[in-house]
Structure 1
């Protein structure tokens, strides 16, 4: 798992704030994109969502959760009813509220706080019960970070932060008691236990990946699915910078090669591997590539499988990426050592 994303579920409540003109339209469309993003990534191999298990019920009681009529009214008022049907938006929201596994897998604990604060605060805090639930949730997150259960740099808050202009939130407080199951080695805990942790946050979760440094996350990909998702984000980032996109896929042995060569333990090599995959998809840095041949001689013909042609891309001197090109699609098959010229069969043919 590369990243944990804590969702303050009140941020998925329909934005009923009084806004004007295009600002209201942009806010509502951003909200819809957030709902769709969370739904589409519930089974992601790259990120894990979590939140307070009690907050959804509190939000229902407080009236903050949207009703069908609220969504319908806002879509009509902003003119977005021609793009989104209110019933569809409401259905996605209900799916998340009823089906999303809101839990706290980062730390299995029962924590009692003497005091807890967050700066800047989450925006929806006028209901005391909701405010207390928000504080307990981020306090538990800070406690998990302080005892070594999570890394702040790998955890993102998705919350409606009241103060704009900052990109991180500081959580401070003191824990008086806690019952929890340790999963990783960490410091002994003596109470009262003082907390001070800082976490990056995003206002729009559907845009969280735009600033993600994908190359630094490769070492946290523990299966092929996570690697493919991370590559998809990297490709999207390159396309946003002007690169041309095209169809691609990962061969079944690529992640196994990555794992067998222990590249996760070599940050420089893992970053170079990831960049080479992106270059292959974008057809960039072509001087680093040449066709794989049937034999060792320079006059030996290109290695093919049906219409697929095998290629080799240099990753420095020690490693090489082997891939197939077929009808505008590339299949990245293997990463190998310098003297290895093998390539797995193309799955497309």
Structure 2
């Protein structure tokens, strides 16, 4: 599973009661926060937040209260677009996410000597938020250390943008919920974490092959192919908002399993490319009508108004699919001489 980590500073509201806060500060906060609204609908990743976030926001008056928000929205003219409840509901949704600590299985960590490649970018933050960012980076690094087989990790924060964050530090102790997974300290941390400025940046960085290989449910395979199609559309200048409809047939994943297309990375890469070509209707010479018999004059196989098609995966394997009024239905992966297709 891909992990997306929210830094507490992402939610830190620049209160109008603070005389040093400008309208530009509020607009930057609002624009950055609202750009992550779509995270609420993501089902291909765990979205995690540090457990200290609610207390920090309240302690430093950085929770967006109704009256203060109303004033700020009016001053910027954004009250014609957003209402205070829109912002408060979004922040509250984030505050109710699963915590990083719960995901790892710890209560807290003791760390020191943290240095990162983005120290200059975040140096203007209040000391508490800077400490909390370092703590989040240590937690991410700890999670990667404890569970190296997990998928990718991404950081969401402010003032860093798209960056490969280099992290160095020491973890001196961990308070595990159950039995400790580390027997000796200090644990020296040397690693890299990807920070992204938008959800699109995260999607473009994810490896769909690895995601497919580590999927354990139909939904996981659907998400992996969705991301592969999304990436192809972006890389070829197409708008992923206009992604064609597509679906898996009820036997598709099982036929993939039978022929080794769930675990072999080379096969997975080829299959995802073939499925994406099918969905986007490119490389049409690789497609052939799936006919009722072996003769070229035999009619194309149909299921009501749906038409059966065959596309090369490679020399040995082929993808069979239905062209329907609701988009392409990926039906099965078969060997070369298998002309069947699940109805």
Indicate the TM-score class for this superposition, using the shorter chain for normalisation.
0.7 to 0.9
Q: Specify whether residues 75 and 226 from structure 1 end up closer, same or farther in structure 2 by C-alpha distance, changes over 3 A only.
A: farther
Query: Which of 225, 229, 234 in structure 2 is aligned with 1:235?
Result: 229
Correspondence 1:166-245 to 2 at 5 A = 167-180=163-176, 189-205=183-199, 207-215=201-209, 217-240=211-234, 241-243=236-238, 245=243
Cα 1:213–1:140 shift into 2, 3 Å: closer
Give the TM-score taking structure 1 as reference length.
0.81
2:272 matched residue in structure 1: 274
CA shift in 2, pair 1:296/1:206, >3 Å? closer
After superposition, give the CA deviation of every residue in 1:267-310 in whole Å (9 maximum; x if it has no partner): 12101111111111111011111111122333322111111111
CA distance in 2, matches of 1:331, 1:193: 50
**1:28-39 pair list within 5 angstroms:** 28-34=30-36, 36-39=37-40
Shift of 1:333: 1.8
**Alignment of 1:134 onto 2:136:** no
TM-score of the aligned structures, taking structure 2 as reference length? 0.82
Equivalent of 1:332 in 330, 333, 342: 330
1:40 alignment counterpart:
41
SS of 1:236 mapped into structure 2: helix
* Cα offset, 1:209, TM superposition: 1.4
Asked if the contact 2:165–2:194 (Cα under 8 Å) also holds between the matched residues in 1, the reply is yes
Q: Name the counterpart of 1:101.
A: 98
Q: Which runs of 5+ in 1 are unaligned?
A: none
Once superposed, what is the RMSD of the aligned Cα atoms? Answer: 3.2
Partners of 1:176 and 1:139 lie apart in 2 by 11
Q: 1:308-336 CA deviation, whole Å, 9 max, x = no partner?
A: 11111110112211111122621112222
User: Structure 1 residues 327, 68: closer, same or farther in 2, change over 3 A?
Assistant: same
SS at match of 1:6: strand
Give a deviation string over 1:79-103, Cα, whole Å, max 9, x none.
4444434322322222332x32223
For the Cα contact (< 8 Å) 1:107–1:181, is it kept in 2? no
